[in-house]
Structure 1
């Protein structure tokens, strides 16, 4: 069995090849530029880990992992356009560096290239993999649309936010694990458990991300805290605060979101703490983490094979940056 970090290094070395032709350079160089920015490679590595949970890592798993990573990068290129984001991993985004039209095509061709890699998978598994890959791709798009819809609404409920996060973030983590497991010959029951492990872990990860943005140590978190508050993002924390705040606190929250004073972050955090949002968020994160770990426990393989996935859960959820 390999550790998460070992597989990250292994996959990164294999992924660091030319995925596009050389011409026209005006289309393909932006794609190469974006892929060179790196990233954590969590999703493709989860695919490899899902495979190794049931079998030795098969050559097909690397083709599938590459497809997953290209798809993920496609979503990032297009998300950056929608968010008008100037930077990604500290470097200029594709649309900022090359223009919106090039960035759109760059994302498109990444997605198309992903299908080239999927097409290399043994035909025995291809139909099941393709169904799950396409379902997941569609759900990620739905999640992004809901996220944009929520920006214009002031009545978003916590359950709606959970659904959006599941689609936007968690389903790709879950599907990456399950697709790897399918290649490993996992039973239907085991496939369902590994999917639920990834889905619940993804939600716990997002709750923690929201929490760290508000309450994290800037030195450990790696960025200024309060970014979500400044942008009026409807995070787990804000939605719960609006749910439990008294009338005066609700008025103050609305005022802070509308007027954007210089001390907005500190005042909003004071309301969050008065409403025990920090305690609630940690309890909710723990609930989803324990649900994830129970599904991992219920998978019918020896516990030693599950150890790397337990380590991955600890790495994702107990991180401080």
Structure 2
């Protein structure tokens, strides 16, 4: 799908208002912010708002608050995972060092709440604040769960709960905030929450798939890096439940081995194909469910959200 360039331009203009100083700290905070991210979260906020409203200027501070929080989580994530690259560029801590990177993340976090304070309706500002702070708590809990999974193999239910928090929470918040700003009623807000839950799930599953069969240049990291890092993705969890003993042993032998060759990665990807298909089918099912929840909205206005649900599982990076 083509994202509306006017909306993206307005989001970027609004973002620049919060990081417009030119010094080391602000340059570090801008390093990822303007490094070619897709802007899915603020875009979701704006197009959800547009289900009922047309004046997008009023929703921009709320939309960029979500994007600022998202980028704060990415900077801190990269430090925790000791990642060298993101979006095909060196990570913030690799360029500026860890202390400045931590501060740059904290700055974006604080700026998000500055953006919320710019919402010119006190009731809505309070609602957005509640949604955003809950999402931040969920992201932290989800990240902690993900780190705990390094010590054991989670069940499918535990994994899905982790991605609902770590990845889904901010996507849900983006949609919920758009609904608040657009004056959606209770029934509409519930439907949008269900829609958002499902696209949050599919977003992470597609990331898990792209790590194995994506294009290295497009995804900005080596294919199979989740295997090398020992990540317990939905694909690995499904495989361990369904593979025969020989293939299970092969998978367990390479999982978390940073020194395995590209050839070994290829062999493992071959073994994982049925589980990749399982993940793809689950995404299709959840995407259809997501779109069904939008049926209560005007057909023309809801189309962007329907297209976004499809885009999330068809994207190649």
TM-score, normalisation: structure 2? 0.90
Contact 2:202 2:287 in 1 (8 A): yes
- Report which stretch shifted further, 7-16 or 59-68: 7-16
Q: Distance in 1 between matches of 2:310 and 2:20?
A: 39
Partner of 2:150: 151
Partner of 1:4: 3
Equivalent residue for 1:237, pick from 235, 238, 251:
235
Q: Distance in 2 between matches of 1:34 and 1:213?
A: 20
Contact 1:230 1:264 in 2 (8 A): no
Partner of 2:122: 123
| Backbone CA RMSD of aligned residues | 2.3
Q: Is there any run of 5+ residues in structure 2 with no aligned partner, and where? A: none
Change (3 A) 1:246 1:46: same
Task: Name the count of aligned residue pairs.
Answer: 313
Q: Distance in 2 between matches of 1:203 and 1:220?
A: 21
Displacement of 1:20 after TM fit? 3.7
Q: What SS is found at the alignment partner of 2:230?
A: coil
Q: Distance in 2 between matches of 1:267 and 1:4?
A: 37
Q: Deviations over 1:118-148 (max 9, x none)?
A: 0111113122111111101110111111111
Q: Distance in 1 between matches of 2:217 and 2:80?
A: 29
Q: What SS is found at the alignment partner of 1:37?
A: coil
Partner of 2:16: 17
Q: Deviations over 1:230-286 (max 9, x none)?
A: 32211111100001122333222222336664332122123223xx22331221111
Q: Distance in 2 between matches of 1:71 and 1:13?
A: 15
Partner of 2:175: 177
Change (3 A) 1:216 1:78: closer
Displacement of 1:203 after TM fit? 1.0
Contact 1:27 1:105 in 2 (8 A): yes
Displacement of 1:49 after TM fit? 0.7
Contact 1:173 1:202 in 2 (8 A): yes
Equivalent residue for 1:109, pick from 107, 110, 120:
107
Displacement of 1:31 after TM fit? 1.7
Change (3 A) 1:27 1:261: closer
Displacement of 1:184 after TM fit? 0.8
Q: Tell me if 1:266 matches 2:263.
A: no
Q: Distance in 2 between matches of 1:261 and 1:88?
A: 22
- Report which stretch shifted further, 169-178 or 14-23: 14-23
Q: Deviations over 1:297-316 (max 9, x none)?
A: 2xx32111101111212222
Displacement of 1:180 after TM fit? 0.9
Equivalent residue for 1:301, pick from 291, 297, 300:
297
Equivalent residue for 1:75, pick from 73, 76, 79:
73
Displacement of 1:219 after TM fit? 7.3
Partner of 1:27: 25
Q: Is there any run of 5+ residues in structure 1 with no aligned partner, and where? A: none
Q: Deviations over 1:28-47 (max 9, x none)?
A: 33223343323111101111
Change (3 A) 1:14 1:78: same
Q: What SS is found at the alignment partner of 2:16?
A: coil
Q: Tell me if 1:142 matches 2:141.
A: yes
- Report which stretch shifted further, 144-153 or 3-12: 3-12
Q: Distance in 2 between matches of 1:100 and 1:216?
A: 29
Q: Distance in 2 between matches of 1:59 and 1:220?
A: 32
Change (3 A) 1:224 1:82: closer
